[in-house]
Amino acid sequence: MAVKDRIPPIERDPQKRAKDFFEVSLGYDEERAVLEAQRCLQCSIPTCVKGCPVGIDIPGFIKQIAQKNFEEAYKILKDYNSLPAVCGRVCPQEIQCEGACILNKAGKPISIGNLERFAADWASKNNVEDEIQIDKNQNKKIAVIGSGPSGLTTSAELAKKGYTVDLFEVFHTPGGVLVYGIPEFRLPKDIVKKEVSFLEKLGVNIILNIPVGFAIHPQEILENYDAVFIGVGAGTPKFMNIDGTELNGVYSANEFLTRINLMKAYKFPQTDTPIKFAKKVVVIGGGNTAMDAARSALRLGAEVTIVYRRSENEMPARKEEIHHAKEEGVKFLTLTQPVRYIGRNGKLIAIECVKMKLGEPDESGRRKPIPIEGSNFIIETELAIEAIGTQSNKFLLSQFKGLELNKWGYIKADEFGRTSIPKVFAGGDIVTGAATVILAMGAGKKAAYAIDQFLK
Amino acid sequence: MKKLKTSNLIVEKKKLAYGIHMFWIENELVANNAKAGQFVIFRIHENGERIPLTIAGVKDGTFRVIVKAVGKSTYELCRFEKGDKIIDIVGPLGQPSEIKNYGNVLVIGGGVGIATIIPIVKELKNHRNRVDVILAARNKDYFVLEEEFKEVDNLYFVTNDGSRGMKGYAHEMMEKLLKKKKYDISWAIGPSLMMKACSEVAKKYDLKIWVSLNAIMVDGTGMCGGCRVRISDELKYTCVDGPEFDGRLVDWESFNTRLIQYKEEEKLALEKYLEKVGEPTWL
């Protein structure tokens, strides 16, 4: 049987979508979803499942879509994953489930992410009620710190097992990077809200505006709960710390994106949080955060250039995001490194950069960029956004007595999130350093399993 | 854990001077954990921005903030009355002031900073320091909460117009005192220009001076770096490393420039708001 090509999702026109914050991809309609689902070979030993950090029964839900049992497909998904509408949208499927699909050998893999998204969106549109199955009353209490993907997953899994879960979040909205980091045009916030409300149905007690470490001492949490899960992410931005970092017009991507996504600064002055506007914007970095910042700046009306010190091949961003950014008109300047910000009256007016060449691979396996002497040049710009990575929040961690950290300042934890303190578990970016939403969810799921084992 | 009352209900409101309002708010989490020098972040409604405010006292599960109306959000906040609720309050945040027994301490409060030095002065007195305080304001009507400075050893007043105490500026009074008396440490909290001027005097007299930096913040928890400031060539985050720093080490020029980075936007937001509500008679 010949392998048919995968069915593309419906996407909005790049020129139109680059002017607003509405979702870029419209996903599949029923007809497309069924056609794509029918391409699945229904492997008896499915490799795709191994590629999924939460081990979704992928052939199972796809089979239901192929047979037009959309509600059944959704229910299978929800058994494994509390946030399918989120994951279908933001997982890097090409290196996970889809990367492991057997069809890669003969052509294009099944579009698992789009099918997952379709089933979740269909269920939402058709008001499918979630079945809430809570095992038994455990009479034990668990504190989860941080409501990002790992904390949400751990909370949901433990609530299903009948534990009392208090989920502490420092922001006024739960979701972590799903609400402050990933823009509306990739992940509409109404979808996050809806998926988070599922946790409340499970009985998870979400407590907002709590800075653990400041308002509640970790010791108090340790004394009052039977187990603790730390999922606070790697939210502290790094700066290159070159000359002029404090100039007006230089943002961290975290600040830029938080203003836009969480505070809705793109609607200023209808909303109260302002954001600087500039005709020309330079985004520094090559990861997904850089793409999100660049595409957000574009939507505010700027001409945007991404400056990256390696070549496009080494960019850690998803290929799809690079492609979307290019379609929308983001320019790429690779093998380039900023060395100094230039200001006038405290405002950024230009960036001095140097050209780079690639040397031998470094410890990360990527070829090391080396500056080319004398190749310095100036880019005029009023706004620069640094998206060069994040680090751990050391303040909170230092307050957990006896909590071992690795040399990068992240929590030392095993595969199941067990830390050096018996009742403390951890997962997501605070263990691995900045990674993906689904890896954090996978970590949350494993930690929930380990917490359950620990408490039994 | 014990269930805490965090209703964010305004239990008391009082106008202290034109554009300066005091609020007592029910939030046991903040009240029970706040230490001198810390702050909270407010979001006053669904479309609101996040604004930092210094905690100016705690009492029976409530805490106090003193708000000076300077832009849209603070104008709006000053319109809140007893019985209203603030939708989001997060705190306490920031590192507490380093309070211990130093000996002779000089504390300077300027403008709305007069209210925010109260918890620091109280703590310093609790640690048996001899505390001299300079209160500086535009004119005599702005010495808010003056009665709370009763326990201090010497209290000096400075007004820009000479309507009470010395005519001039806080740093001038500071220098006058430093000429005749030796202090072991000092604090200066108020407008950034005042803190800068006091820091220069402190440098001249080789006196350590804590200032509380009122940087622009978004999250207030170290996640965005918007409040970054250069402290003797190191980049620090005001919200988690501060807000108090040794004023002699602060890069005041860039700090002051960063403070006005949204000047046009702030002006626009206030204009739009005033168009909607008319004369701000409540200020």
C-alpha separations of B131 from B115, B120, B121, B260 in Å: 16, 10, 7, 34
Collect all residues with Cβ–Cβ distance below 8 Å to B170 and sequence separation of at least 6. B108, B110, B134, B136, B158, B188, B190, B194, B197, B198
Distance from CA of A327 to the nearest CA of B (A): 29
Rounded to a whole number, what is the distance in Å from the CA of B25 to chain A's nearest CA? 15
- What is this structure's pTM? 0.94
Q: What is the reported pLDDT for B8?
A: 96
- Euclidean distance between CA atoms A42 and B18, whole angstroms: 74
Domain boundaries, chain B: 9-93
Sequential DSSP letters for B5-53:
----BEEEEEEEETTEEEEEEE-HHHHHH--TT-EEEEE-STTPPPEEE
Sheet containing B20-26: give its strands across.
B10-17, B20-26, B62-68, B58-59
Nearest chain B residue (CA) to A240 = B235
Q: Tell me, what's the pLDDT at A1?
A: 45
Which of chain A's residues have a Cβ under 8 Å away from the Cβ of B49? 263, 271-274
Number of Cβ pairs < 8 A linking chain A and chain B = 128
Q: How confident is the model at residue B1 (pLDDT cuts 50, 70, 90)?
A: low
Which amino acid type is present at position A105? K
Show pLDDT as tens, one digit a residue, over chain A (456 residues): 445 789 999 999 999 999 999 999 999 999 999 999 999 999 999 999 999 988 999 999 999 999 999 999 999 999 898 889 999 998 889 889 999 999 998 889 999 999 999 999 999 999 888 777 777 777 899 999 999 999 999 999 999 999 999 999 999 999 999 999 999 999 999 999 988 999 999 999 999 999 998 999 999 999 999 999 999 998 899 999 999 999 999 999 999 999 999 999 999 999 999 999 899 999 999 999 999 999 999 999 999 999 999 999 999 998 889 999 999 999 999 999 999 999 999 999 999 999 999 998 888 778 899 999 999 999 999 999 999 999 888 778 888 889 999 988 999 999 999 999 999 999 999 999 888 888 899 899 999 999 999 998
pLDDT at A3: 56
Length of chain A: 456
Instruction: Tell me the sheet residues that pair with A378.
Output: A352
How does pLDDT run across B46-85, given as a tens digit for each residue?
999 999 999 999 999 999 999 999 999 999 999 999 999 9
User: Looking at chain B from residue 241 to 260, which residues have their Cβ under 8 Å from any Cβ of chain A?
Assistant: 251, 253-254, 257-258
Q: Report the alpha-carbon distance of residue A211 to residue A216 in Å, rounded.
A: 7
| B residues 8-47 closer than 8 Å to A (CB) | 29-30, 33, 38, 43, 47
Alpha-carbon span B155 to A83, nearest angstrom: 60
Inter-chain residue contact B218 with A214, CB threshold 8 Å: no
CA distance A19 to chain B (A): 21
Beta bridge partners, A284, equal: A307, A386
Peptide bond before A369: cis, by omega within 30 degrees of 0? no
Note whether A246 contacts B226, CB cutoff 8 Å: no
Q: Is the ipTM of this complex over 0.90?
A: yes
CA-based nearest residue to B178, from B201, B212, B144: B201
B88 C-beta neighbours (distance < 10 Å), count:
19
Spell out which residues of chain A touch residue B251, defining contact as CB-CB under 8 Å: 246
Residue in the structure block whose two tokens are 């402050």: A180
Q: B33, A215: Cβ pair inside 8 Å? A: yes
Q: Is B156 helix (H, G, I), strand (E, B) or coil?
A: strand
**Burial zone of B101 (CB within 10 Å; 0-12 exposed, 13-18 middle, 19+ buried):** exposed
Distance CA A176, CA A170 (A): 9
pLDDT attached to residue A135: 75
User: What is the rounded distance in angstroms from the CA atom of residue B37 to the CA atom of residue B117?
Assistant: 8
**How far are the Cα atoms of A18, A180, A253, A293, A427 from residue A284, in angstroms, in the given order?**
20, 19, 9, 10, 28
Greatest CA separation found in chain A? 69
Q: How far is A331 from chain B (nearest CA, A)?
A: 25
- B contact residues 186-215, partner A, Cβ 8 Å cutoff: none
Q: Is B141 on the interface with A (CB under 8 A)?
A: no
Tokens of B253: 């020029």
Average pLDDT in chain B? 95
**DSSP symbol at B216:** -
Distance CA B224, CA B207 (A): 33
CB contact under 8 A, A245 and B93: no
How is residue B20 written in tokens? Answer: 């300066």
Measure the CA–CA gap between B213 and B116, rounded to whole angstroms. Answer: 12
| B117 CB within 8 Å of a chain A CB | no
Residues in chain B: 283
Dihedral of CA A415/A421/A423/A429: which sign?
negative
Mutate to test the interface with B, among A144, A145, A205, A209 (most CBs of B within 10 A): A209
Q: Kindly determine whether residue A235 and residue B261, on different chains, have CB atoms separated by under 8 Å.
A: no
Which of A247, A272, A345 is closest, CB to CB, to B48?
A272
Q: Give the C-alpha separation, B242 to A394, whole Å.
A: 15
- Phi, psi angles (nearest 5°) of residue B151: -75, -10
B72 at A interface, C-beta within 8 A: yes
Residue B9 in this model has a pLDDT that exceeds 80: yes
To which H or E segment does residue A89 belong?
helix A84-90
Sequence-distant (6+) residues with CB within 8 A of A189 are A175, A179, A261
CA pair distance A142, A417, nearest whole angstrom: 15
Which CATH architecture is the domain B9-93 placed in?
Beta Barrel (2.40)
- The H or E element that residue B270 is part of is helix B263-277
Q: Is B73 on the interface with A (CB under 8 A)?
A: yes
Record the tokens describing residue A321, joined without a space.
Answer: 């995001």
| Better pLDDT: B231 or A456 | B231
Please report which helix (H) or strand (E) contains residue B211, including its range: strand B209-212
Looking from the CA of B66 toward its CB, the CA atoms found within 13 Å total: 21
Whole-number pLDDT of residue A277: 87
- Give pLDDT, residue A319: 87
Bridging pattern class, strands A336-344 and B10-17: unpaired
Residues of B in contact with A248 (CB under 8 A): 257-258, 261
Buried b vs exposed e over A148-171: b needs ≥16 C-beta within 10 Å?
Answer: bbbbbbbbbbbbbbbbbbbbbbbb
